[in-house]
Amino acid sequence: METAFLQSVFFQNGILKILDQTKIPNVTEFLEITTIEDAWDAIKQLKVRGAPAIGIAAAYGLLLGIKNAPENSFDDFYIEFKKQADYLATSRPTAVNLFWALKRMDERAKKEKNQPVAKIKEALEEEAHLIRQEDEEVCRSIGTHALSLLKDGMGILTHCNAGGIATAKYGTALAPLYLAKEKGWNIKVFADETRPLLQGARLTTWELMQAGIDVTLITDSMAAMVMKKGWIQAVIVGCDRVAANGDVANKIGTYGVALLAKAHNIPFYVAAPLSTIDLDTKSGDDIPIEERDASEITEGFGKRTAPEGVKVFNPAFDVTPHELVTAIITEKGIIKGNYQVELPKLFQG
Ligand SMILES: CSC[C@@H](O)[C@@H](O)C(=O)COP(=O)(O)O
């Protein structure tokens, strides 16, 4: 039976609707966003999060920003369009899907250049819907490819949340788990809680439990022990950006998980749509890593857990070097070996 998914980002009657992921698992609430400023804030505050969902929200958010853009000429319209797109691009730096979606909208605007501006706005709405719809198909396809690496009864460890709510549907790293469930397999998932914002504890467990998938929550520091016990046969994570050499940026803590997997001889798989692969970024050293407010660590979820004034380092992502990545699973298939050579082939033809 196919799993029922909540759509976490969609656009209806000129309103951007976002499942507020900061409130899960306690409250399931949809925000109704009507301004680009609120769309920017929803991305910044992780109300909408996960690389593909951020891209979709940016495309829809841009529609809100250009609602009142001048319609007298393409040039005047385009000045405003660029201003609004550049503004949204400042919301978060690491997930390349944000920039990918804005670029796609930009290309569509230019393609429609000779149309009346009102028509260009309609075309842009169509493009944003396409970005969302295509992501559903892409994620399902990633799931199908990833499933070929798994077997009934396996233990899988995942970090952060790369599930249905982080995408249009199915997720990336979690997609094969939903497909395994459809086949009646019994996969045992171990979800790292994922400090400091607990995307694993709050979101991954919530999603998988709703789908009736066997999930066990562990703290990040328990991953080594669980691997040592022989409970994990594969690690699958999502990612925010794949560089041209195959280095991958994902939620802080992923690099540690990859090192642990290597030490225990467990394959470490990265699920990534083509929209997350950035051939213009040469290596992981060139990926901009977001640093977030210290309060996420010192008083996360409202309770102070460190002394006032303590120095804090709070990067939201880390980079796993390509040598630790067993394979990258994309909608076009599974790639491994020399990523520098294999990644560009995905974009040919
Ligand atoms: C399919 S989502 C892939 C990644 O975006 C995900 O693993 C992740 O690191 C999300 O970080 P977040 O800070 O919650 O947006």
pLDDT 10s digits, 67-110: 999 999 999 999 999 999 999 999 999 999 999 999 999 999 99
CA-nearest of 157, 170, 340, 348 to 242 is 340
Average pLDDT in the chain: 98
Does 56 contact ligand 1 (Cβ within 6 A)? no
Q: Which whole-number Å values give the CA distances from 100 to 119, 241, 270, in the listed order? A: 23, 11, 19
pLDDT above 90: percentage of residues in the chain: 98
Does 240 contact ligand 1 (Cβ within 6 A)? yes
Which domains are present in the chain?
A: 9-139 (1.20.120.420), 149-345 (3.40.50.10470)
CA of 94 to the centre of ligand 1 (A): 10
Kindly name the residue from 135, 192, 220, 240 that is annotated as catalytic.
Answer: 240
Query: Residue 194: pLDDT above 80?
Result: yes
Can you tell me the mean pLDDT for 163-189? Answer: 98
Query: From the CA atom positions of the chain, what is the Rg in Å?
Result: 20
CA of 256 to the centre of ligand 1 (A): 16
Whole-structure pTM over 0.90, yes or no? yes
- Residue that has been written with the tokens 């979101």 in this structure: 203
Can you tell me the mean pLDDT for 180-208? Answer: 98
- What are the binding residues for substrate? 49-51, 92, 199, 250-251
Residue closest via CA to ligand 1's atom 10 equals 50
Does 55 contact ligand 1 (Cβ within 6 A)? no
Does 251 contact ligand 1 (Cβ within 6 A)? yes
pLDDT 10s digits, 321-337: 999 999 999 999 999 99
CA of 203 to the centre of ligand 1 (A): 11
240 is catalytic: yes
